[in-house]
Amino acid sequence: MKNQASVAVVYHSVTGTTAQLAEAALLGASGVEGIRAYPVQIEGRDIHEGRYRNSVALEAMGEADALIFGSPTFMGCVSGQFKAFADATSDIWFQRRWRGKLAAGITVGNNPSGDQLNTIQYLSILANQHGMLWVGIDLPGGFDPAGRNRMGAQSGLIAHAPGGELNPADTATASYLGARVAHLALRFTTVTMDLVDA
């Protein structure tokens, strides 16, 4: 029996650029044999009195072996909607239910800097608080023949979308990151299964 694993892309999008990157990451993950990839969109209607409340979405995240978090960068960090979701994972944190899962991050901004790195670092901290294992990008910026990781971020995907238009290289990087997370999820699941069977 072939090994299988699942990847959920958990994201909030306002202008549609984060959604496009999430779709590219999903395509990259889905292209890996043995992977089930699915989106979990964070929506404003799921936030009540400042708290994210969508038990179905949280359950879908819990079933995944890996989570790719995505948020636009607003005022130097994740969007308020994503932060409301992150705060709502405190019960999951308390029960350690995401411990051992893989995690990665995607963000986009209108400016070349725009403090997008802070957003990626926030996503990484969130993952580490949950006991997850962070997956960065292993493409050195400026050295990929296909032009991926053009912004040179190793911690996660940082995209630049002036005027709301994504660069195709950033979309290709999102697809690459999705495939990378998927391959590692399969390898990690295999190792975990071997340890359980030992």
Residue 134 has pLDDT above 70, yes or no: yes
5-197 is a CATH 3.40.50.360 domain: yes
Query: Concatenated DSSP letters for 137-196?
Result: --S-TT--TT--STT--SSSEEEE-GGG---HHHHHHHHHHHHHHHHHHHHHHHHHHHHH
Q: Please, which residues bridge with residue 68 across strands?
A: 9, 104
Q: What is the pLDDT of residue 114?
A: 74
pLDDT in tens, 18-61: 999 999 999 999 999 999 999 999 999 999 988 899 899 999 99
Whole-model pTM: value is 0.92
Task: Please report, as a single letter, which amino acid is at residue 58.
Answer: L
Question: Which residues are 51's β-sheet partners?
Answer: 48
Q: Tokens for 151? A: 């912004």
Annotated domain spans of the chain: 5-197
Q: How far apart are CA 110 and CA 116, in angstroms?
A: 10
Dihedral angle over CA of 140, 142, 145, 150, nearest 10: 90
* pLDDT tens digits, one per residue of 82-100: 999 999 999 999 999 999 9
